[in-house]
Chain A
Amino acid sequence: MTTVDDLKRRVADLLAAYPPESTPRQDFLDARFDAGLAWIHFPEGLGGLSAPRSLQSVVDKELAAAGAPDNDKRRIGIGLGMAAPTILAFGTPEQHQRFLRPLWTEREVWCQLFSEPGAGSDLAALGTRAVRDGDDWVVTGQKVWTSGAHKSQWAILVTRTDPDVPKHRGMTYFLCDMTAPGVEVRPLRQITGEAEFNEVFLSEVRIPDAHRLGAVGEGWKVAQTTLMNERVAIGGTEFPRDGGMVGVVAETWRERPELRTSELHDRLLKLWVEGESLRLVSSRLRQQLAAGAPGPEGSAVKVAFSELNQAASGLEIELLGDEGLRYDDWTMRRPDGVNFLGREAGYRYLRAKGNSIEGGTSEILRNIIAERVLGLPSEPRIDKDVAWKDLPR
């Protein structure tokens, strides 16, 4: 059993062997991974120590205090939050060895090739085809809204391998090399002016069977693990008191007394209280996760997080009045990673609109809460026993 003292000693050893001041960033990340201090709840040899997840903060604090470099979670959020736990759960030992280290050390950035123009909320309706050809699979189809595809070396990919069975049963999950021939990434501009996401066209892309994750036809089960982790990754984000989107507005309030009105004051305080309670809910969620029992709160936290971000960023524009009529820059660019709080008020307001769509819409999450958490009867389903190819669309 790993103890706090044990961890502190390991951190001290790492820092002694690789002094942050004189060690190149990449070398330090490699060494940290090899010391099992990357994600301590992962197995030994895969960046972890099979230690309780709750102790990760001990490592993080010690390293931050020593000024050690860390990986950029904004750039590799999808890898860390979605790809890694899925690969850990379903991957072969070879896949663990091949993918987890470069993922965590930021050598390889990951994206998520799930959504398609005709399959968003209804992910299991997707139509990108994968056909077996010897040791390879040949994949053809179109994906959309793929965040960060332009920066990614690898993707988690769900495909249709059997159109003749009901939709949930005919899917297979792959790890896709984004540099392979036939993968084409086109920027898809969004409401903010920038192209954070993309369209991805797959034309006869060859994926070796060794890069399949889970069994043929079990892609839905694998994808469920990814989606569960995605919600926790979004809802369980750690932020300090007075942090997040509310913190930004609160800062403007403190610095700009001339903008204050009593009505806005009431609304800001209400949002501040919501922010503080959400901070506590999400730290409870992390504690549950550390204790090994991720509760059903994940979906609800994500809904609340989206609403709070939207209310706070909307309030900020109103508060700014005249300045709220302006934007910083509409120039089309392809950012390195996602930064909800980045740039100015107008950007935050527009970007926050995506919070309730990406990673499962608030409507879908409410359905999940109602049906799976509260046990309410589900909507009548007409797509359960119909072969995918015969579905109305």
Chain B
Amino acid sequence: MTDLLYSEVEEDLRASVRALFSDRAEPAALIARTETAEPYDLKLWRTLAADLGAAGLAVPEALGGHGASAREVAVVMEELGRSVAPVPYLGSAVLATSALLAADTSQAEVAETLGKLAAGTLIGALAVPLSAAPGAEFPSTVAAAADGTVSGRVRSVADASVAELIVVPAVGPDGPGLYTVDASAAGVTVAEAISLDLTRRIADVTLEKVAAKRVAGPSVAASALDTALVTAAGLLASEQLGIAEWALTETVRYLKERYQFGRQVGSFQSLKHRLANLYTDLINARATARYAADCLASGDDIAIAVAVAQARNSPIAVHAAEEAIQLHGGIGMTWEHPAHLYLKRAKSDEIAFGTPGRHRAALAPLIDLPA
């Protein structure tokens, strides 16, 4: 039976993550940080990942994690959307971790790396463009040589600029494989791009004959990579829910405070209906995100659940963030108001792991509605 509600444990987890973010990721500080030499807050990351144990939620206890599931990770993602905290959670705890979990975890190398990722002592990234969608062909821009080195280039890798370990899909002499490389190894160049999303950065990774360890061979590499992308796409729906929720809550608050024409602006029926529509979107977004998380946890109906969640929640998050700006008026257009951080995150998330149109196209054969 699918469970679309939040468990008590999940609510507790949410409460502690939210408390952490409201304490340490306050909007004015976030905006100021975006233009410093340290756009990521790695102290906050340590607290979230290690002290709260959020990085290892989906990792089995035997491998050093908490043995929870995608459902709990989804709760963290919701809070990430609500706070746009600048931490490499998506790259490390979702993408790199999911890829390794889907590889052969009985390999000592894989188990050891997962243990560190789960403990939050190691930051990982998965070398695929953030736009890579589930079901795409195995990437061929990186080649693995017979001597165990990898070479090539991957553009727009999420969270790569702070990663210590990079999981690299590469094509070797015997076919596709997943490799890990030390981000500080000779031959690795990580060039940060100017990202639209100020609180989750992308970077271009160039590898020149970099010493690598193979963690998945031809028989599992492609499916492990796809599992990582499907998981990330499904969980991103929860982040999008968080963005929409922030947008609605803040806009409602503002429109109750703001007076024009001698009235609270929120007393105009035309605006009330807009906010009611956002609420309607929001309950849809929550149900689809919960369903995707539950399916990822149970293994059932994943493909449809993820495609639906992405096709639905991407536009909802973008629309909610756009409405927040519009309904805040001139203040919403300023840099000092945090609304733009959410718009930039929502618009990037719309492209991340496949656009809504792509997910609808992916859905068509699954539900027998061919073009």
The reply to whether chain A is a binding partner of chain B is yes
Residues of A within 8 A of B (CB): 115, 118-122, 125, 144-145, 188-191, 193, 261-264, 310, 314, 317-318, 321-322, 324-330, 346, 349-350, 353-354, 356-358, 361-363, 366-367, 379, 381-383, 386, 391-393
Q: Is B144 an interface residue (CB 8 A)?
A: no
Q: Is A322 a contact of B131 with CB atoms below 8 Å?
A: yes
- A318-B351, A329-B194 are known contacts. Are A121 and B262 too (CB-CB below 8 A)? no
Tell which of A119, A346, A382 has the most Cβ of chain B within 10 Å: A346
A121 nearest CB neighbor, chain B only: B260
Q: Is B347 an interface residue (CB 8 A)?
A: yes
In the bound complex, what is the Cα–Cα distance between A361 and B333 (angstroms)?
A: 12
- A191-B333, A263-B357, A325-B156 are known contacts. Are A350 and B259 too (CB-CB below 8 A)? no
Q: Is B330 a contact of A393 with CB atoms below 8 Å?
A: no
In the bound complex, what is the Cα–Cα distance between A383 and B260 (angstroms)?
A: 10
Q: Is B326 a contact of A393 with CB atoms below 8 Å?
A: no
Min CB distance B194 to A, Å, is: 5
Q: Is A357 a contact of B332 with CB atoms below 8 Å?
A: yes
Binds A, one of B114-122, B159-167, B239-247, B334-342: B334-342
Q: Is B329 a contact of A121 with CB atoms below 8 Å?
A: yes
Q: Is B343 a contact of A144 with CB atoms below 8 Å?
A: no
Binds A, one of B88-96, B263-271, B290-298: B263-271
Q: Is A357 a contact of B329 with CB atoms below 8 Å?
A: yes
B328 nearest CB neighbor, chain A only: A357
Min CB distance B279 to A, Å, is: 18
Binds A, one of B105-113, B179-187, B195-203, B211-219: B195-203
In the bound complex, what is the Cα–Cα distance between A379 and B272 (angstroms)?
A: 14
- A326-B195, A366-B270 are known contacts. Are A120 and B322 too (CB-CB below 8 A)? no
Q: How large is the interface on B (under 10, 10 to 19, 20 to 34, 35 or more residues)?
A: 35 or more
Other A-B pairs beyond A191-B339, A263-B357, 12, CB < 8 Å: A122-B261, A144-B330, A191-B335, A193-B335, A314-B318, A325-B196, A325-B202, A327-B194, A353-B332, A353-B333, A361-B329, A392-B259
Residues of B within 8 A of A (CB): 34-35, 129-131, 155-156, 193-198, 202, 259-263, 268, 270-271, 318, 322, 325-326, 329-330, 332-336, 339-340, 343-344, 347-348, 350-352, 355, 357-358, 360-361, 371
Min CB distance A369 to B, Å, is: 12
Please provide the 7 A-B residue pairs with the shortest distance between their CB atoms, ordered closest to farther: A383-B262, A189-B335, A263-B357, A122-B260, A191-B340, A145-B330, A322-B131
Min CB distance B99 to A, Å, is: 20
Tell which of A189, A363, A383 has the most Cβ of chain B within 10 Å: A363
Query: Of the candidates A122, A263, A353, A363, which one forms a contact with B343 in the assembled complex, judged by CB atoms under 8 Å apart?
Result: A353
DSSP majority for the B interface? mixed
Q: Is B202 a contact of A362 with CB atoms below 8 Å?
A: no
In the bound complex, what is the Cα–Cα distance between A317 and B261 (angstroms)?
A: 37
Residues in B with CB closer than 8 Å to A125 are: 260-262
Q: Is B333 a contact of A318 with CB atoms below 8 Å?
A: no
Q: Is B259 a contact of A393 with CB atoms below 8 Å?
A: yes
- A350-B340, A379-B268 are known contacts. Are A326 and B329 too (CB-CB below 8 A)? no
Residues in B with CB closer than 8 Å to A354 are: 333
Query: Of the candidates B130, B156, B326, B351, which one forms a contact with A353 in the assembled complex, judged by CB atoms under 8 Å apart?
Result: B326
- A191-B340, A325-B130, A391-B262 are known contacts. Are A361 and B355 too (CB-CB below 8 A)? no
Q: Is B340 a contact of A346 with CB atoms below 8 Å?
A: no
10 contacts between A and B (CB under 8 A): A115-B330, A144-B330, A190-B334, A191-B333, A263-B360, A322-B131, A330-B194, A353-B322, A353-B326, A357-B330
Min CB distance B181 to A, Å, is: 22
Q: Is B193 a contact of A326 with CB atoms below 8 Å?
A: yes
Q: Is A322 a contact of B260 with CB atoms below 8 Å?
A: no
Min CB distance B86 to A, Å, is: 15
Query: Of the candidates A118, A145, A262, A324, which one forms a contact with B196 in the assembled complex, judged by CB atoms under 8 Å apart?
Result: A324
Q: Is B326 a contact of A356 with CB atoms below 8 Å?
A: yes
Q: Is A328 a contact of B329 with CB atoms below 8 Å?
A: no
Residues in B with CB closer than 8 Å to A314 are: 318, 347
A383 nearest CB neighbor, chain B only: B262
Q: Is A382 a contact of B332 with CB atoms below 8 Å?
A: no
B267 nearest CB neighbor, chain A only: A379
Q: Is A318 a contact of B194 with CB atoms below 8 Å?
A: no
Q: Is B202 a contact of A382 with CB atoms below 8 Å?
A: no
In the bound complex, what is the Cα–Cα distance between A393 and B360 (angstroms)?
A: 47
In the bound complex, what is the Cα–Cα distance between A136 and B198 (angstroms)?
A: 49
In the bound complex, what is the Cα–Cα distance between A122 and B325 (angstroms)?
A: 18
Residues in B with CB closer than 8 Å to A188 are: 334
- A322-B156, A325-B202 are known contacts. Are A189 and B334 too (CB-CB below 8 A)? yes
In the bound complex, what is the Cα–Cα distance between A320 and B358 (angstroms)?
A: 13
Residues in B with CB closer than 8 Å to A363 are: 268, 270-271
In the bound complex, what is the Cα–Cα distance between A304 and B138 (angstroms)?
A: 43
Q: Is A326 a contact of B355 with CB atoms below 8 Å?
A: no
Q: Is A317 a contact of B333 with CB atoms below 8 Å?
A: no
- A121-B329, A321-B351 are known contacts. Are A327 and B262 too (CB-CB below 8 A)? no
B271 nearest CB neighbor, chain A only: A363
In the bound complex, what is the Cα–Cα distance between A26 and B181 (angstroms)?
A: 62
In the bound complex, what is the Cα–Cα distance between A125 and B265 (angstroms)?
A: 14
Residues in A with CB closer than 8 Å to B335 are: 189-191, 193
In the bound complex, what is the Cα–Cα distance between A205 and B1 (angstroms)?
A: 72
Residues in B with CB closer than 8 Å to A317 are: 196, 347, 350-351
In the bound complex, what is the Cα–Cα distance between A326 and B193 (angstroms)?
A: 7
